[in-house]
């Protein structure tokens, strides 16, 4: 059992939790993830580690309430316990040698991008962060990202906060104005990572993306998280989650993610009493 030390609602949909997990905190690195179950009947939920403290023995996670399992997880409060909290899983992000980096987070992806930006910034790299959201009400981790970056750019689809536009527009603007990035790290919706990768390929900038496809066991056994990278089958849980964005078959990933959309919506509607 893993005690919830702190809980915050970052907005109406997104929840932050700090969890006592000393064994995980001792070994985890930015880019890795955990798999948890809120209770005995809960689904296995893979969540990227948002932050950690080895000395105090905690790991923080950020998740969006989109279905039954994440909704139930979101009902837990400080002092409550999570049944299972397994990790760290996946390969840690490789940030060695990066000197001038643009870290791009889209929506909830900002929570995944944050630990990488934090590590890079603390190690002396120039870090520009571009954070994209649909609107002002969905903005998360703004202060944390500002304090762990050289420059922070906020983009919203409707212009209700920061600048109006897409993260790709800001990235292109920065590149064309002379930002000589050696690496771009993009984490967020698959479609966003696809178009960031297409843009950076034009400029020859190395691009790392974090893939989070359908995942069940987190050890490579189920094959649910498979994707094609440079023509070869990879598994996000054991070979990733970080991959070369110029080699990922994003269209294949998008197709796999949509396979169970109808069933997922049906189950969510049943849980909410809509059907």
Supply the CATH number for residue 63's domain: 2.40.30.10
Calculate mean pLDDT across residues 50-65: 94
Do 215 and 46 meet the contact criterion of CB atoms below 8 Å apart? yes
| pLDDT at res. 221 | 66
**Same domain? 178 vs 77:** no
Predicted confidence (pLDDT) per residue in 170-219, tens digit:
999 999 999 999 999 999 999 999 999 999 999 999 999 998 766 666 66
Bond before 88 cis per omega within 30 degrees? yes
| Long-range contacts of 160-169, Cβ-Cβ distance < 8 Å, separation of 24 or more | 160/135, 160/136, 161/133, 161/135, 161/136, 162/131, 166/132, 166/192, 166/195, 167/104, 167/106, 167/130, 167/131, 167/132, 167/192, 167/196, 168/192, 168/195, 168/196, 168/199
- Domain of 34, in residue numbers: 2-89
Given a cut of 60, whether residue 45 has pLDDT beyond it is yes
| Structural domains of the chain, count | 2
Given a cut of 60, whether residue 233 has pLDDT beyond it is yes
| pLDDT at res. 144 | 94
264: in domain: no
Instruction: Choose among 200, 264, 256: nearest CA to 225.
Output: 256
**Same domain? 44 vs 164:** no
| pLDDT at res. 236 | 80
**Same domain? 162 vs 241:** yes
**Same domain? 124 vs 47:** no
Q: Read off the pLDDT band of 256 (50, 70, 90).
A: confident
Give the C-alpha separation, 197 to 251, whole Å: 13
- Top pLDDT among 49 and 264 is at 49
Do 6 and 18 meet the contact criterion of CB atoms below 8 Å apart? yes
Instruction: Choose among 39, 35, 49, 105: nearest CA to 71.
Output: 39
């Amino acid at each position: 059992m893993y005690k919830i030390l702190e809980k915050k609602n970052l907005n109406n949909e997104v929840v932050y939790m700090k969890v006592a997990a000393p064994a995980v905190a001792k070994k985890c690195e930015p880019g890795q993830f955990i798999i948890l179950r809120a209770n005995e009947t809960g689904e296995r939920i893979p969540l990227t580690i948002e932050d950690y403290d080895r000395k105090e023995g905690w790991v923080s996670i950020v998740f969006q309430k989109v279905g039954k399992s994440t909704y139930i997880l979101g009902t837990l409060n400080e002092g409550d316990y999570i049944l299972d909290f397994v990790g760290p899983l996946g390969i840690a992000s490789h940030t060695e040698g990066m000197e001038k980096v643009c870290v791009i987070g889209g929506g909830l992806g900002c929570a995944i991008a944050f630990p990488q930006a934090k590590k890079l910034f603390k190690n002396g790299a120039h870090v520009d962060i571009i954070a994209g959201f649909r609107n002002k009400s969905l903005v998360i981790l703004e202060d944390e990202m500002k304090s762990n970056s050289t420059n922070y750019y906020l983009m919203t689809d409707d212009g209700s906060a920061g600048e109006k536009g897409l993260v790709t527009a800001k990235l292109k603007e920065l590149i064309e104005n002379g930002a000589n990035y050696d690496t771009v790290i993009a984490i967020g919706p698959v479609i966003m990572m696809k178009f960031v990768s297409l843009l950076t390929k034009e400029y020859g900038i190395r691009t790392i993306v974090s893939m989070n496809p359908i995942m069940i066991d987190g050890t490579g056994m189920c094959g649910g998280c498979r994707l094609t990278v440079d023509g070869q089958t990879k598994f996000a849980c054991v070979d990733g989650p970080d991959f070369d964005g110029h080699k990922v078959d994003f269209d294949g990933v998008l197709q796999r993610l949509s396979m169970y959309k109808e069933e997922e919506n049906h189950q969510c509607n049943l849980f909410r009493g809509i059907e």
